[in-house]
Amino acid sequence: MTSDARHKSALVVDDLEVMRRSVANLLRTQGFSPVDEASSVSEALEKAADVGGYDLVLSDWNMDPRTGLDLLISVRSELTYENTVFVLMTAEPTDEKRAAAEAAGVSGFLVKPFGAETLVSEIEKFFGVE
């Protein structure tokens, strides 16, 4: 379990329910609580506004009509979220996408498909290990 993850909030944003639930459940096993889910950028922004932000946001890149990059840009534009760890998940990690995300303030990337070990390793970069 990640030691610094206890009582840290997380939001998983993906338009694919199976992926969203899988990632959310894994975050719960790592000590994140609460872990919320959203199926779109609009829903994610509403949830973030309702709770006052999250410690961790994991978002899929490819969603319609707005992308994970759009969500990242929105999150980073709010001073409230300056310390939020934001990880983008994508099956298409092109150099252009990486450059755009880095310019917008992304914390990390996960290339789909990924397993539990890869997800935990990425999270531990930001929240430590017990």
Q: In this model, does residue 6 exceed pLDDT 70?
A: no
CB distance 73 to 62 below 8 Å: no
Query: What was the pLDDT predicted at 100?
Result: 95
pLDDT in tens, 22-38: 999 999 999 999 999 99
Give me the pLDDT at residue 4, please.
Answer: 56
Report d(CA 62, CA 31) in Å as an integer: 27
pTM, entire model:
0.92
| 90, two tokens | 């994508």
The domains of the chain, with CATH numbers, are 3-127 (3.40.50.2300)
Q: Where are the beta strands (DSSP E) in 1-130?
A: 10-13, 35-38, 56-60, 85-90, 108-111
In tens, the pLDDT along 61-84 reads 999 999 999 999 999 998 778 889
